[in-house]
């Protein structure tokens, strides 16, 4: 991975952390309010978990390749499998987050909400464009991993490692999100209640 890829990875980790934090700050209130607010909390939670998962897939796949456990094509297959696992959830949660941010920008009409809506618009367009262009090659890469398994025991071992990378990253992504969410849940102090006045 080149330095631009590492910068993007760090940015993705930061965005995933931010999504988990915001979800945590709103979690208790959303439980009480329910409805749309609760649904949007779950969308933020899902986006955070999948964002961390994607980062962990990349890190684990590069580490496994660097350690000699898998070759370059198997590393690509691990990344492609991770991509295919996270993509549906990212597209669905991203769509609702984008719609919500556009509605908020229209209501508030201030620079922060417009900036968030602009970023979410860019992210959603990028994710859809990547899905259109990336799903086919990703499926081909994953399919190539499974071809000729019967004759090659080493390939079977590589498949197990690739699947373990994705499963471990998926578990790690949602555990990370849940730990951050729990840390920030109910951390905002309630406003002071007015003292009762004598009658």
Residue 146 is predicted with a pLDDT of 77
pLDDT digits (tens, 9 = 90+) for 33-44: 889 989 999 999
Indicate the pTM of the whole model.
0.87
Do the beta carbons of residue 50 and residue 90 sit within 8 Å? Answer: yes
pLDDT over 60 at 195, yes or no: no
3-state secondary structure 9-69: HHHHHHHHHHHHHHHHHHHHHHHHHCHHHHHHHHHHHHHHHHHHHHHHHHHHHHHHHHCCC
pLDDT digits (tens, 9 = 90+) for 163-176: 999 999 999 999 99
């Amino acid at each position: 991975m080149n330095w631009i890829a590492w910068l993007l990875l760090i940015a993705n980790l930061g965005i995933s952390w931010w999504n988990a934090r915001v979800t945590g700050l709103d979690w208790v209130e959303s439980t009480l309010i329910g409805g749309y607010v609760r649904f949007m909390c779950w969308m933020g939670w899902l986006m955070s978990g999948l964002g961390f998962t994607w980062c962990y897939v990349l890190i684990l796949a590069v580490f496994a390749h660097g350690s000699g456990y898998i070759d370059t094509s198997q590393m690509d297959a691990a990344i492609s499998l991770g991509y295919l696992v996270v993509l549906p959830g990212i597209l669905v949660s991203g769509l609702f987050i984008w719609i919500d941010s556009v509605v908020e920008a229209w209501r508030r009409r201030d620079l922060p909400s417009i900036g968030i809506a602009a970023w979410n618009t860019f992210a959603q367009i990028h994710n859809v464009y990547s899905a259109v262009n990336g799903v086919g090659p990703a499926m081909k890469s994953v399919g190539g991993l499974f071809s000729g398994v019967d004759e090659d025991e080493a390939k079977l071992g590589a498949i197990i490692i690739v699947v373990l990378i994705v499963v471990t990253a998926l578990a790690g992504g949602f555990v990370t999100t849940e730990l951050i969410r729990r840390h920030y849940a109910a951390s905002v102090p309630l406003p002071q209640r007015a003292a009762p006045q004598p009658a």
